[in-house]
């Protein structure tokens, strides 16, 4: 019975705490919402004010410029009417045309708006009245300027000063200029006065919003934070009483940790087995040396298994080498690398396709088909999966190397030469395809006198050091150029040392593959075997 009463009492206490917590939460959210609304409102007013001030500055500048333009208009008209030099008349007639157009457009824009020059055209009734007062003077001056421009050919051909009766348009401009300038001065002053008034109104609004915000924060402190502090004290007391229960949960966590450790060990064992499978699938170093006695392979998975892979095969005397970088690393990348390995064997060995561009095209089609990417939306899992790859074909019949790449270039060095780079196509294998058919480009390098080639994924060049600075492709090319003349086993040692010195304590970020092959001059025998 006592136990039932205790349970009922605990239930009532929990219900009260829930209601109290809910009330505090609602008050807290309401207060924060109001503060947020006030802050956003303040920002809206500030942005509107900034926009208005920018517009006001533009309007005042253009209105002030009208005074200068009217003076230039008068001066140009006067010079045209009085100058004896035809060249001077011509120059000032051109200026009169430009000034009149700009003067008229600015005048209309100030009244009715002109988006191209930043004039909104929203004036007060007082400013509209002022514009009406000077409109007649503006029209007289503008009509006179147009009349001068209309008769400009006759004026320019005259070598004498135009008589007074012929200078009537000039006199009209000069007679109305003073009144127009005074009117524009009043308009500029009125624009400035109204702009300052808007700033004052904005300050009053901002002060009001600040006052309301401070009031809400004060109320929040009294009605929300003060009860919350009391609630925190109560919770602390409850936590002290719950210490024993926490200890029991810790014991359960320790047991769970032991189970997780056991499961993790099983996962590691599975990965190690997957690593052995991947090593069996990838060509062995001894098989590489059989065809290329002077070569090296710098292969470092980020995890136990790798998303990078390398592949080679010999078909009827022609040797094909490939280095690929699949999407992701670890188990997902390793599974994709098995796709690539199997598809390359099918394309090269079974279908006997020995053109690098054609191989990449078939590989792209095969990956998209295997992953059913044509049926997937862009955002679906696996829609962007694929690989970047470089393929070289050593063709003794042509005494050359054929190369094609998808995001991976080829570095090569002729005897006693510099490192050169063959650019790859900026397209990947698999993933999204916009074009009707994805094609790639083949390149050819003569190897009559021998050549050293390097195929690499982006893992080495993208590896950062402790400062977050990547090694970089330029630095990698410079390194290869420095050691290209050395034997391949020494190049491998220097490359490994370079990688360690660059990383130091920085963890490896991606799978890394760098393959170097030194190809000596080929001798083609009758049975098409490469010697």
Residue 165 has pLDDT above 50, yes or no: no
- The two most distant CA atoms of the chain are separated, in Å, by 127
Instruction: For the chain, give the percent of residues with pLDDT over 70.
Output: 85
Q: How confident is the model at residue 166 (pLDDT cuts 50, 70, 90)?
A: very low
Structure tokens at 69: 């333009």
> Are the C-beta atoms of residues 58 and 119 closer than 8 Å to each other?
yes
Asked if residue 368 has pLDDT above 80, the reply is yes
Q: How many residues does the chain have?
A: 531
Same domain? For 102 and 165 the reply is: yes
Spatial neighbors of 102 by CB under 8 A, at least 6 apart, are 69
Residue numbers of the domain that contains 44: 13-231
For 36, counting Cβ atoms within 10 Å of its Cβ (0-12 exposed, 13-18 middle, 19+ buried), the class is: exposed
Q: What angle do CA 334, 338, 341 make, to 5 degrees?
A: 130
User: Which residue has better confidence, 153 or 253?
Assistant: 253
Beta bridge partners of 400: 395, 446
List Cβ neighbours of 342 (8 Å cut-off, separation of 6 or more): none
Q: Concatenated DSSP letters for 224-264? A: IIHHHHHHHHHHHHHHHHTHHHHHHHHHHHHHHHHHHHHHH
Choice among 63-72, 83-92, 216-225, 323-332 with the minimum mean pLDDT: 216-225
53 pLDDT band (50/70/90 cuts)?
low
The answer to whether residues 288 and 227 belong to one domain is no
- Contact present, 293 and 304 (Cβ < 8 Å): no
Q: What is the DSSP letter of 427?
A: -
Whether the Cβ atoms of residue 343 and residue 367 lie closer than 8 Å to each other? yes
3-state secondary structure of 401: strand
Q: Is residue 260 situated within a structural domain?
A: no
Long-range contacts of 225-230 (CB under 8 A, 24+ apart): 227/20, 227/24, 228/24, 228/28
224 and 297 co-located in one domain = no
Q: With a cut of 80, say whether residue 298 has pLDDT above it.
A: yes
Does residue 239 register a pLDDT over 50?
yes
Percentage of the chain beyond pLDDT 90 is 31
398 and 486 in a single domain? The answer is: yes
The answer to whether residue 443 is domain-embedded is yes
Q: Does any domain span residue 248?
A: no
* Mean pLDDT value across residues 395-408: 90
Residues 62 and 205 in one domain: yes
Six-digit token string for 169:
């348009």
Query: Do 403 and 470 belong together in one domain?
Result: yes
Report whether 99 contacts 202 (CB < 8 A): no
Indicate if 318 and 186 belong to the same structural domain.
Answer: no
Residue 265 belongs to a domain: no
135's tokens: 């409109």
Q: Does 1 map to a domain?
A: no
Torsion angle of C-alpha atoms 11, 17, 21, 24, degrees rounded to 10: 140
Q: What is the pTM of this model?
A: 0.53
Instruction: Look at residue 216 and tell me if it is in a domain.
Output: yes
Q: Where are the beta strands (DSSP E) in 425-529?
A: 429-430, 443-446, 451-456, 512-519
SS3 assignment, position 103: helix
Q: Which two tokens stand for residue 242?
A: 């719950």
> What is the pLDDT, as a whole number, of residue 328?
79
Per-residue pLDDT tens over the stretch 175-205: 888 888 888 888 888 888 888 888 888 888 8
The upper half-sphere exposure of residue 467, i.e. CA atoms within 13 Å in the direction of its Cβ, equals 5
Spatial distance between the Cα atoms of 397 and 59, rounded to a whole number of angstroms: 78
Mean pLDDT of 400-411: 95
What average pLDDT does this structure show over 306-315?
A: 93
One domain for residues 458 and 320: yes
Place of tokens 């962007």: 384
Nearest to 311 by CA among 336, 335, 332, 282: 282
Residue bearing the bigger pLDDT, 153 or 519:
519
- CATH number of the domain within which 504 lies: 3.60.40.10
Residues 305 and 449 grouped into a single domain = yes
Domains: count for the chain: 2
Is the domain of 362 the same as that of 477? Answer: yes
Q: What share of the chain is helix, strand, coil (3-state, %, to 5)?
A: 65, 15, 25
**What is the C-alpha separation between 394 and 405, in angstroms, rounded?**
15
Query: Is residue 237 assigned to a domain?
Result: no
Q: Which pLDDT score, from 0 to 100, does residue 355 have?
A: 95
Mean pLDDT value across residues 354-361: 96
Residue 199 lies in a domain: yes
Q: Are 151 and 76 within one domain?
A: yes
Contact 284, 292 (CB under 8 A): no
Alpha carbon distances (Å) from 143 to 146, 149, 168, 172, 266: 5, 10, 12, 9, 96
Does 302 lie in the same domain as 212?
Answer: no
Of 231, 264, 295, the residue that ends a domain is 231
Which residue among 193, 215, 231 closes a domain?
A: 231
Which tens digit of pLDDT belongs to each residue from 245-257? Answer: 888 888 888 888 8
Q: What is the pLDDT of residue 14?
A: 57
């Amino acid at each position: 019975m006592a136990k039932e009463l205790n349970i009922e009492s605990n239930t009532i206490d929990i219900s009260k705490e829930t209601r109290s917590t809910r009330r505090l939460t609602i008050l807290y959210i309401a207060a924060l919402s109001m503060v947020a609304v006030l802050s956003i409102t303040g920002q809206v007013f500030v942005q509107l004010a900034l926009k208005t001030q920018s517009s006001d500055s533009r309007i005042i500048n253009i209105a002030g410029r009208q005074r200068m333009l009217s003076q230039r208009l008068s001066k140009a008209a006067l010079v045209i009417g009085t100058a004896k030099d035809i060249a001077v008349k011509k120059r000032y007639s051109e200026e009169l045309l430009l000034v009149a157009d700009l003067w008229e457009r600015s005048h209309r824009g100030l009244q009715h708006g002109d988006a191209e020059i930043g004039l909104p055209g929203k004036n007060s009734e007082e400013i509209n009245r002022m514009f009406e007062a000077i409109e007649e003077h503006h029209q007289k001056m503008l009509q006179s300027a147009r009349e001068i421009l209309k008769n400009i050919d006759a004026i320019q051909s005259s070598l004498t000063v135009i008589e007074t009766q012929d200078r009537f348009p000039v006199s009209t401009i000069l007679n109305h200029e003073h009144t127009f300038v005074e009117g524009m001065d009043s308009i500029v002053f009125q624009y400035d006065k109204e702009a300052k008034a808007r700033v004052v109104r904005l300050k009053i609004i901002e002060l009001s919003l600040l006052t309301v915000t401070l009031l809400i924060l004060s109320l929040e402190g009294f009605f929300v934070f003060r009860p919350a502090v009391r609630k925190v004290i109560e919770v602390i007391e409850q936590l002290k009483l719950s210490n024993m229960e926490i200890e029991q949960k810790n014991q359960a966590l320790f047991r769970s940790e032991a189970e997780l450790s056991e499961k993790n060990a099983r996962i590691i064992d599975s990965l190690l087995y997957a690593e052995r499978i991947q090593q069996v699938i990838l060509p062995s170093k001894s098989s590489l040396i059989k065809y290329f006695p002077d070569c090296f392979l710098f292969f470092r998975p980020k995890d136990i298994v790798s998303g990078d892979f390398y592949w080679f095969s010999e078909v009827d005397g022609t040797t094909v080498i490939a280095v690929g970088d699949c999407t992701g690393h670890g188990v997902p990348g390793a599974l994709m690398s098995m796709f690539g390995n199997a598809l390359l064997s099918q394309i090269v060995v079974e279908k006997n396709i020995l053109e690098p561009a054609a191989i990449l095209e078939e590989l792209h089609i095969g990956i998209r088909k295997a992953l059913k990417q044509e049926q997937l939306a862009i955002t679906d899992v696996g829609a962007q999966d694929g690989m970047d790859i470089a393929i070289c074909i050593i063709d003794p019949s042509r005494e050359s190397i054929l190369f094609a790449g998808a995001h991976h270039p080829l570095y090569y060095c002729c005897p006693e030469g510099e490192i050169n780079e063959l650019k790859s196509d900026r397209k990947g294998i698999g993933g999204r395809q916009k074009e009707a058919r994805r094609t790639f480009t083949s390149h050819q390098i003569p190897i009559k006198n021998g050549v050293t080639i390097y195929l690499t994924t982006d893992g080495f060049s993208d590896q950062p050091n402790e400062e977050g600075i990547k090694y970089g492709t330029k630095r990698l090319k410079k390194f290869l150029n420095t050691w290209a003349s050395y034997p391949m086993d020494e190049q491998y040692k220097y490359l490994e040392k370079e990688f360690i010195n660059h990383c130091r304590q920085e963890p490896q970020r991606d799978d890394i593959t760098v393959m170097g092959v030194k190809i000596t001059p080929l001798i083609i025998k009758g049975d098409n075997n490469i010697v």
